[in-house]
Structure 1
Amino acid sequence: MGEPIAQREAHMKVLVVGAGYAGTIAANRLAKRVKTADITVINPRPDFVERVRLHERIAGTGTATTPLTSMLRPGIATRTGTVDKIGDGQVTLGDGTGLDFDHLLLAVGSTAVPLPGTVAAGTWEGAEEARAALAGLPGGGAVTVIGGGLTGIETASEIAYGRPDLRVRLVGQTIAASLSAGARERVRTGLDRLRVEVVTDSVTQIDPGAGEGSGDLVRLGSGAGFSSDLTLWAVIGSVPDLAARSGLEVDPDGRAVVDAYLRSVTDPRIFVVGDCAAVPGSRAACATAMPQGAHAADTLARMMRGRELTPYSMGYVGQGLSLGRRDGLLQAGRRDDTVRRFYVAGGAAAVGKERVCRYAKFSVRTATYTWPRGSK
């Protein structure tokens, strides 16, 4: 049973910190449901970044940004900047400015802490750096992608597809571990077709300039090593420390602890959604961020009208990845995110993955989105 909380709807000040998939759909969904809400979105850049397309941006096969103003509903204000701290009903921006709020949605996502000598492939800043470096590499150069998850696979595949004149390596202790056994084998086949060399090992150190020519030496856990002209870090392993820095209760990984309605257990005025929220059973993905952002907005709208609240519930349907522009894989899954044996691969899967990406952007912009409930 939810808890009815009557609040004054008119002129309610709501701040949304972060304009990724979770924050943007939350802002649009709330604006759609509560016409009188005063909503301001705070984001480090004036663009909405399609994180699922960063590998395309790196390889030069596509783009990943859209002006944020064209993604938000009319009436939603924007503020370009960072939040230094969240206090008691007020945030302090990086420039020292303070903004008051009645409610706040924290959606700062996740980030990467790359190994020294590497460039983070999963962040916008890292993707831009990687794109520029890759564009400057002459034919025959060597690119190494560290990380055997879906981000690493997509990045290595896209570079190999867009720049077939380069030597591309993918390094990971396991490759596509989140997929079924058959799907993992199909991923390896796709990588082979693109001539991506797969190295199942860990990387311990990067020695700048110690490789062949002016390349860096990539040292492996096994003791072996090889030269690399550009080394990308495709591991997402941390979240910004804004929640912890602001005194909110966090889990050992720094994610804010939330209640059944996605509110901070420290301050119920604050909703936390996306990668930075400690929601049991969730994984970092836009398929996670969008339901959480939408549910938080729906819950806040109910709170403003004194209606009964509904606990958050969400089930997964599978995973998808691209292997260049003409190949891909769609893995069927259960609601609890365990995988099934069934998967689709090839050109049809590449088209399917592209449609999923387009649907995600459409849903964020229109706030029209539904999702399956979690398993009981």
Structure 2
Amino acid sequence: MQVVVVGAGYAGMLAANRVAKKVKGARVTVVNPRPHFVERVRLHQRIAGTAEAAAPLESMARDGVRVRVGTVEKIGDGSALLADGTVLTYDYAFLAVGSTVRPLPGTIPVGVWEGAERARAALATLPPGGRVTVVGGGATGIETAAEIAESHPALRVRIVGPHVADVFTGRARETARKGLERLGVEIVDDGVEAVADDGTVRLASGASLASDLALWAIVSGVPALAARSGLSVDADGRALVDACLRSVDDERLFVVGDCAAVPGARFACALAGPQGAHAADTLARILAGRDPEAFSVRYLARAVTLGRHDAVGQLTERDDTLRPTRFTGRTAVVIKELATRGGKFGARTGIGG
């Protein structure tokens, strides 16, 4: 039986390795545009030079999983068309192309590998006193600004967003903002309208901020593959799926991770792995003649690092509603690091979810 997995992120690699483990005789092919697995949640560390964020795909694939570097242009009806004209046929497929970024002109996106590499190179050219503006007050922006400020203390770093650190509430939000300030990060609660060629950042309020490097730290939207393939998608381009994570147009095609329109799910690596695992298990159940089970979204917490030695997190209800309970300092650092390592471990082994 032929299985094609499009995308080698947390959801795709976990699904591929889990299918190879659970479905006897399955020949699994993973198609990815780059030859490495990217730990997206470590890209801010890659930019700052404090950690690596990629591993060869071959090192992430278990026996029975073949890796092919390429870009899928269209998928459906039992075949995947690659940009080089190759056609891969399949009995079942998994679409796991993740999410993407839509940066303003004049900024470098830090939420994707190629952008992170550009940001890393640009950062290295800045002189002491250089000004770095991180656009986006969510988790990606907070971690990027904090990591750069801690690792490059000679630079002046600011973070800009309508409500910086509003991924948290109450004391957890205050802790995140104070953590940024301790690292010397200037917090600007405002939107960004445009970035000029000289780096000047124009704010929604009409004010302007001089900047030598503007980094876009907002992840939004998904690759156009699902829509381009004629699959039913929502307003954001995410493929519509049934309760078992199958495309509503084709039961042979599972859609997992950020590119799947799962009710109640937001862009999060913490959900990508469980979706990949559930879809792989569903395929195993179907092939064994058992009824598939519905996927259930479950959140536990939100957390961000504030450099290498500090972090803050806040517990959530199952539906992602924030609870008052927070965790900070060394405890939060350990929890966040374990979660990050766990995501990669799950993707490499097919265990977890």
Give the TM-score range, shorter chain.
Answer: over 0.9
Post-superposition Cα deviations, 1:285-343, rounded to whole Å, max 9, x if no partner, equal 11110010000000011111211211111311111110000000121111111011011
Equivalent residue letter for 2:148: I
Contact 2:14–2:350, Cα closer than 8 Å, also in 1: yes
In the aligned structure 2, how far is the partner of 1:88 from the partner of 1:355?
40
1:351 paired with 2:334, answer: yes
- Give the corresponding residue for 1:257: 240
**Offset at residue 361 of structure 1 (A):** 1.1
Tell me the residue number matched to 1:236.
219
Match of 2:204 among 221, 229, 234: 221
Partner of 2:268: 285
Q: State the match for 2:132 in structure 1.
A: 143
CA–CA distance in 1 between the matches of 2:334 and 2:308? 9
Partner residue, 2:123:
134
Equivalent residue, structure 1, for 2:6: 17
TM-aligned CA deviation for residue 255 of structure 1: 0.4
Q: Which moved more, 1:356-365 or 1:15-24?
A: 356-365
Q: Deviations over 1:68-93 (max 9, x none)?
A: 11111112111001001113211110
User: What's 2:170 paired with?
Assistant: 181
Q: Which amino acid aligns with 1:191?
A: L
Percent identity, aligned pairs only, is: 60
Does the 8 A contact of 2:264 with 2:297 survive in 1?
no
4+ runs deviating over 3 angstroms: none
1:1-376 equivalence runs, <5 A: 12-209=1-198, 216-370=199-353
Aligned-partner SS, 2:246: coil
Question: Which stretch of the first structure deviates more once superposed, 339-348 or 183-192?
Answer: 339-348
Amino acid at match of 1:100: T
Q: CA deviation at 1:253?
A: 0.7
Long gaps (5+) in structure 2: none
Query: Aligned letter for 2:163?
Result: T
Quote how far apart the aligned CAs of 1:180 are.
2.0
Q: Partners in 2 of 1:269 and 1:362 — Cα distance?
A: 27
Letter of the 1:84 counterpart: E
**Counterpart-to-counterpart distance in 2, 1:170 and 1:38:** 47
Q: Secondary structure at the match of 1:41?
A: strand
Q: 1:115 & 1:195 partners in 2: Cα distance?
A: 25
TM-score, structure 1 normalization: 0.93
Q: Note the C-alpha offset of 1:217.
A: 1.0
So what's the TM-score if we normalise by structure 2? 0.99
Q: Distance in 2 between matches of 1:181 and 1:344?
A: 13
- Which structure 1 segments of 5+ residues have no match? 1-11, 210-215, 371-376
Deviation, 1:227, is 1.0
